[in-house]
Amino acid sequence: MPTIRAALCHAFGTPLSVEEVELRAPLSGEVQVKMGAVAICQSDITFMDGKWGGALPAVYGHEAAGEVVAVGPEVSGLAPGDRVAVTLIRACGHCPTCATGAPVYCEDKAGPHPPAITKDGQPVYQAMFSGAFAEAVTVHQSQVAKLPETIPFEAAALLACGVITGIGAVVNAAKLRPGEDAVVIGCGGVGLNAIQGARLAGARRIVAVDMMQEKLQAAAEFGATDLVSAAEPEPWEAARAALGRGADAVFVATGALPVFDSAPRYLGPRGRMLVVGMPHTGAQSSYEPTALAYDGQSIRGTAMGDTVIARDIPWLADLYLQGRLQLDSLISRRWRLDEINEAIASSRSGSARRNVITFD
C-alpha cells in the first residue's frame, strides 16, 4: 500500500493539513491515477465548511487530471500510462438512469467499495468519490475519461467539473438552439463556461449578470454580448431590454439564494430556468407558479451538466486543442500542494476564476 501526501480536513471550517496517508491498490473495476493537477472548486469549499455535511477526516478535491499508474481486475479500455480526467461522476452503467444515458444520476454509484485512503489504519473519507487533493487517487473506472497526449494536466483538470457543468447545462440540459437567447447569472468558473457553452451552441445574445465588475469583464472575454450588474434594483428588466424580450434559457450559476427567487423574471414565453448552482443544504426558494403556467415556462435542475464523460470530455478537449474553447485563461494561478490553504483563501475571495494545484 503506497504512502502519499494528501490535504486532510479534520474539522469543518479549519485549514487543511498536508499529511502522509496510505492509498490502497485498485480493486475490481478501479484504477489508480497519479495526480498531474487538481483545481479548487467552490463545491470543495462548501463541503469543507460543513455546509453539505459529510464524514471526517476527509480529503476533498474532485476536478483533476493525471496519469493511470495501475488498474484493477475487470478494467477495460484503460492502461498504465493513459492520461485521464478524474471526475466525481461514478456510475454503475446498469441502473435505469444509466441505461437511459444519464450516468450523473446513477442510482447505485457502482456499489460499495472499501475506503481507498487510510491513516494509521483508520479510514479517511474520500469526498465526492475522488479525494484528489492528494498525490494520487484510487477511483472507479467510470469516473475517468481518456485525454489527448498533448493537453496540459492543469487545463485538462478543469474539464472534470467546472467546464462540463457549465457547458453541459447549456448543451445537454437546456438543449439551447442556434438563435435562442441566454442569460447567465453568476460569472464565476461555472458561469463563464455556461457563457462559452451558449456561444458554442449559437446563441443570438448572451446576457451576463453579476455583482462584480471584474467578473462581468471576464464574461465579455468568454463570449457574453451584454453585461448587467446584479446590483441594479431590477436587473431582469435590463436583461429584457438588451434582448428585446424575455430569455429562452436562464442559467443560475451561483449559490446565492435570493437569485433563485428572481431568476424566473428573466424568462420569456416557454423559457426554461436551469438550476446549476447549489445553495447550502436546507435552503429554500419561492416563485410564482401561476406566472410559469401562464407562459409555459419550466424550472429544472442539472448536476454536472448532465454530462456523459466518455462523450463530452474528449469533445471539449478537442475544442481546446483547436483553439475554440478557453481553458488556460480560466486559470488564475498555479499552486503547490503545500500551499493549498493559501489557494483556498484566494478562491474564497471570489476574485479567482480557478486556482489549480499542480504536481511534479
Asked whether the predicted pLDDT for residue 1 surpasses 70, the reply is: no
Q: Tell me the per-residue pLDDT of 193-216, one tens digit each, with 9 for 90 and over.
A: 999 999 999 999 999 999 999 999
Q: Tell me the per-residue pLDDT of 127-185, one tens digit each, with 9 for 90 and over.
A: 999 999 999 999 999 999 999 999 999 999 999 999 999 999 999 999 999 999 999 99
* Average pLDDT across the chain, whole number: 95
Q: Tell me the per-residue pLDDT of 30-52, one tens digit each, with 9 for 90 and over.
A: 999 999 999 999 999 999 999 99
Which comes out higher in pLDDT, residue 59 or 352? Answer: 59
CATH of domain 166-303: 3.40.50.720
For residue 310, give the C-alpha cell.
Answer: 466518455
Quote the CATH superfamily of domain 3-160+326-358: Medium-chain alcohol dehydrogenases, catalytic domain (3.90.180.10)
Work out the burial of residue 61: count CB atoms within 10 Å of its CB; fewer than 13 is exposed, 13-18 middle, 19 or more buried.
buried
d(CA 64, CA 133) in angstroms, rounded, equals: 9
Asked whether the predicted pLDDT for residue 112 surpasses 80, the reply is: no
Domains of the chain by residue range:
3-160+326-358, 166-303
Q: What is the pLDDT of residue 114?
A: 85
HSE-up (13 A, CA, CB side) for residue 268: 15
pTM summary value: 0.95
* Cα dihedral across residues 355, 224, 213, 174: positive or negative: negative
Contact assessment for residue 219 and residue 187, using Cβ atoms and an 8 Å cutoff? yes
- List CB contacts of 224: < 8 A, sequence separation 6 or more: 184, 187, 195, 206, 207, 208, 216
Residue 360 CA to its chain's centroid (Å)? 24
d(CA 216, CA 209) in angstroms, rounded, equals: 7
Q: What is the pLDDT of residue 352?
A: 82
Nearest to 136 by CA among 114, 113, 117: 117
Nearest to 61 by CA among 360, 351, 344: 344
Q: Tell me the per-residue pLDDT of 248-291, one tens digit each, with 9 for 90 and over.
A: 999 999 988 999 999 999 999 999 999 999 988 888 999 889 98
For residue 246, give the C-alpha cell.
Answer: 424575455
HSE-up (13 A, CA, CB side) for residue 279: 12
Contact assessment for residue 46 and residue 128, using Cβ atoms and an 8 Å cutoff? no
